[in-house]
């Protein structure tokens, strides 16, 4: 299952599971990444959907530079998280000013299966996360393959959802998970709900995938409760052990994943005793079709 393939650029690609994820050895982020190396990384990204790079120092500027190779980098509406002088970087940390755990989970929304940026008209492409400090227990990231999720659906489900669109709403998911820290009025106005097809076609691979997750609130043309029930059921059906990869972090690892054809979630950790600091960039993709 984990046969390594070596690319023409000397990168070694080790699949992490039979379907999803690969570890990429041989990339040094201290160096400028050449076009040929990036092309090999990008080919692995389209093939494996989730990439893991082994521990190394990746300064913030290098992380942003890598993200820019994928496309336009999002500046997040939740501007309290901007980090390191780069508005493109979003830092999730549970540390206080003295570096001690403050007891608060910085983004409980990440604990539910979702895909980044589905609440925008132009949705997320690559997310690039660097683990500066990771908990000794908990704080894993789980990934699920949405090509496989669509393929596993019964013909009846496929017929039922063909042509349906879901409304994705950050205010809905944020309020549900973070009632104590809702969006501001200005943030709400900046990001109104948007609708996307439930089955989207990946713009580069041409393959169909299920596109829902925790930001999906309702279904266009269905009564609210009926749409809610359908979304909950499809989100549940989407997750299957054969289609997931569960990553336990080592400090200094960098991960990249394709939000167009995966979902992910973080697992909990004790924010009062464990330290977790990760920085994230999300690259903007396209309007789903
Ligand atoms: Fe996320």
pLDDT band per the 50, 70, 90 thresholds, residue 1: very low
Distance between Cα 138 and ligand 1 center (Å):
16
Measured in angstroms, how far is the CA atom of residue 280 from the centroid of ligand 1? 9
Residue 77 confidence (pLDDT): 61
Which pLDDT value is given to residue 110?
85
Distance of CA 244 from the midpoint of ligand 1 (Å): 15
How close is the Cα of 106 to the center of ligand 1, in Å?
12
Taking the CA atoms of residue 106, residue 269, residue 23 and residue 11 in that order, the dihedral angle to the nearest 10 degrees is 50
Residues 6+ away with beta carbon under 8 Å from 181: none
Q: What is the pTM of this model?
A: 0.93
**Edge-to-edge order in the sheet of strand 262-266:** 244-247, 141-145, 262-266
Query: Using CA atoms, how far apart are residues 76 and 59, in angstroms rounded to an integer?
Result: 20
CA of 141 to the centre of ligand 1 (A): 9
Convert the pLDDT of each residue in 128-175 to its tens digit. Answer: 999 999 999 999 999 999 999 999 999 999 999 999 999 999 999 988
Partners of 174 in the β-ladder: none
Please determine, for residue 42, whether its predicted confidence score (pLDDT) is greater than 90: yes
Backbone angles phi, psi at 174, to 5 degrees: -65, -45
């Amino acid at each position: 299952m984990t046969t390594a393939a070596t690319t023409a650029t000397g990168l070694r690609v080790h699949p992490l599971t039979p379907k999803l994820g690969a570890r990429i050895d041989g990339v040094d982020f201290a160096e400028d990444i050449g076009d040929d190396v990036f092309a090999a990384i990008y080919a692995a990204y389209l093939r494996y959907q989730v990439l893991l790079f082994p521990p190394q120092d990746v300064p913030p500027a290098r992380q942003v530079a890598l993200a820019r190779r994928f496309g336009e980098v999002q500046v997040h509406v939740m501007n309290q998280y901007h980090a390191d002088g780069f508005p493109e970087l979003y830092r999730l940390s549970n540390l206080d000013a003295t570096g001690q755990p403050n007891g608060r989970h910085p983004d409980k929304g990440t604990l539910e299966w979702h895909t980044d940026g589905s609440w925008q008209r132009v949705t997320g492409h690559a997310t690039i996360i660097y683990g500066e400090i990771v908990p000794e227990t908990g704080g894993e990231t789980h990934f699920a393959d949405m090509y496989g999720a669509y393929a596993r659906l019964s013909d009846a489900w496929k017929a039922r959802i063909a042509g349906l669109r879901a409304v994705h709403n950050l205010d809905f998911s944020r309020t549900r998970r973070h009632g104590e820290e809702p969006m501001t009025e200005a943030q709400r106005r900046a990001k109104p709900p948007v609708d996307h097809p439930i089955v989207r076609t990946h713009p580069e691979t041409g393959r169909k995938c299920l596109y829902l997750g925790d930001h999906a609130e309702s279904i266009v043309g269905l009564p609210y409760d009926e749409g809610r029930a359908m979304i909950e059921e499809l989100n549940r059906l989407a997750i299957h052990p054969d289609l997931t990869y569960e990553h336990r972090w080592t400090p200094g690892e960098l991960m990249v994943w394709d939000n167009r054809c995966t979902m992910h979630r973080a697992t909990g950790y004790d924010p009062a005793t464990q330290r977790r600091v990760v920085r994230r960039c999300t690259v903007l993709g396209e309007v789903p079709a």
